[in-house]
Amino acid sequence: MSEDQSKIPAMEVDTAFIKSKRGILKVAEMVTLLVAFVCFAVASTPKYIAATVLEFLITALLVLLYIFKLNKRLTFFFWPLIDVLNSVFAAVYFIILSLLAVSTYTVTGTLVGGIFGLISAGVLCVDSYLLFRNITLNRPRSETQNQETTTN
């Protein structure tokens, strides 16, 4: 039985990702989205609840993708670009959603959820900016690696 277990490939866990800038931003996104979700749930506003849960799940899946280094195995997608597009669209969506929640609130939970939605949109904007800066589109890889070492 021990021979069968030794043949199973071990899943790599990247604990350094959580301590990196991107990891901290992803965790901050998840925390602000969770707080906004709880506030919207207390206020019983289903249209805001659905949006925050969906973005929380997408962010959690991206974090798991990076922690378990699945982005290295699933190479049929360009994961940094997908992450940037998700962050940009989510930031725009949460700015609109949060401004609606803040301007039309009737319950304090909706107001607080809208404020945390705006904070989450700000974190999403920072995340998309940092990710977009690191994507190599037309630059040689060596030039990008030199730029990353000078900015870190």
16 vs 35, higher pLDDT = 35
Q: Within a domain: residue 132?
A: yes
Residue 44 has pLDDT above 90, yes or no: no
Identify the band that residue 54 occupies on the pLDDT scale cut at 50, 70 and 90: very high
98 vs 144, higher pLDDT = 98
Mean of pLDDT over the chain: 84
pLDDT digits (tens, 9 = 90+) for 55-99: 999 999 999 998 988 888 888 888 888 889 999 999 999 999 999
pLDDT at 150: 52
- 84 Cβ contact list (under 8 Å, min separation 6): 128, 131, 132, 135
pLDDT digits (tens, 9 = 90+) for 30-39: 999 999 999 9
Number of domains in the chain: 1
Q: Within a domain: residue 96?
A: yes
Q: Within a domain: residue 146?
A: no
Q: Within a domain: residue 90?
A: yes
Q: What is the CA radius of gyration of the chain?
A: 19
Q: Could you tell me what percent of the chain has a pLDDT over 70?
A: 82
Question: For residues 82 and 61, is the Cβ–Cβ distance under 8 A?
Answer: no
> Phi first, then psi: what are they for 3, rounded to 5°?
-70, -35
Identify the band that residue 7 occupies on the pLDDT scale cut at 50, 70 and 90: low
Q: Within a domain: residue 91?
A: yes
Question: For residues 23 and 59, is the Cβ–Cβ distance under 8 A?
Answer: no
Q: Within a domain: residue 142?
A: no
Cα separation, 50 vs 38, in Å, equals 12
pLDDT at 91: 95
**Residue range(s) defining the domain that contains residue 97:** 13-136
Q: Within a domain: residue 151?
A: no
Q: Is 45 left (phi over 0), alpha (psi -120 to 50) or beta?
A: beta
Q: Within a domain: residue 1?
A: no
Cα separation, 37 vs 25, in Å, equals 18
pLDDT at 117: 94
Cα separation, 60 vs 55, in Å, equals 8
